[in-house]
Amino acid sequence: DPTSRAFVKSGSAAADIVEHQLKLYLRAENPLILDFGAGSGRVALPLAKNNPSFSLTCVDVDEEAIDYLVTQLPKRCLAEVCGYQPPLKFSDDSFDALYSISVWSHFPKDVGMAWLNEVKRVTKPGAILIITTAGKNVLADWREKGTQWKNVTDEDFEKEKYIYKEYLNLNSQGEYYPGISGEGSWGGTLLHPDYI
């Protein structure tokens, strides 16, 4: 629900972090920025509103979310549906920066690696990449909430470095995973700093 307080508050907080990092490191005056996995614009909308010099392009597999985002973004910004697997339709070296919030924390290993290669292709040399991942602190939270993770120990994480568990309801409740269910796998992914 893009109008819920928690949704808006968490999006604004993430946008503030992304904005700070981009302003700290970006050298382009009117940067072209890709929001990979934008959803309905939780981060993109406050980021675009507060930064008129940023030209955002938002992509996501969820067509309904992108349809909503198209109606909300400033005219200088774009939103488009992308597939679950690469490629994106953009030319090589298109973007000065990319951010992706809570996407790699859901990819199986092969899909995550394929998208990292695609991200490399569509971003300019020296581009700023901000990609969130789930690690040890998230594992503790997941152990408390989900049966799939209750037996995964910190030692398992230290040894494996990359642990992925598909959501149990991915196929039985595919309506919760538009653009993914039937196309591929989606779940919880832990990435150890050594792996990264």
Q: Express each pLDDT in 87-98 by its tens digit.
A: 999 999 999 999
Q: Where are the beta strands (DSSP E) in 87-186?
A: 95-100, 123-131, 162-166
Classify residue 6 as exposed, middle or buried by CB count within 10 Å of its CB (0-12, 13-18, 19+): exposed
Low-confidence ranges of the chain (pLDDT < 70): 1-3
The confidence score (pLDDT) of residue 147 equals 81
The confidence score (pLDDT) of residue 1 equals 65
State phi, psi for 65 to the nearest 5 degrees: -65, -40
- Whether residue 61 contacts residue 83, with contact meaning beta carbons closer than 8 Å, is answered with yes
Q: How many CB atoms lie within 10 A of CB 129?
A: 15
The confidence score (pLDDT) of residue 8 equals 87
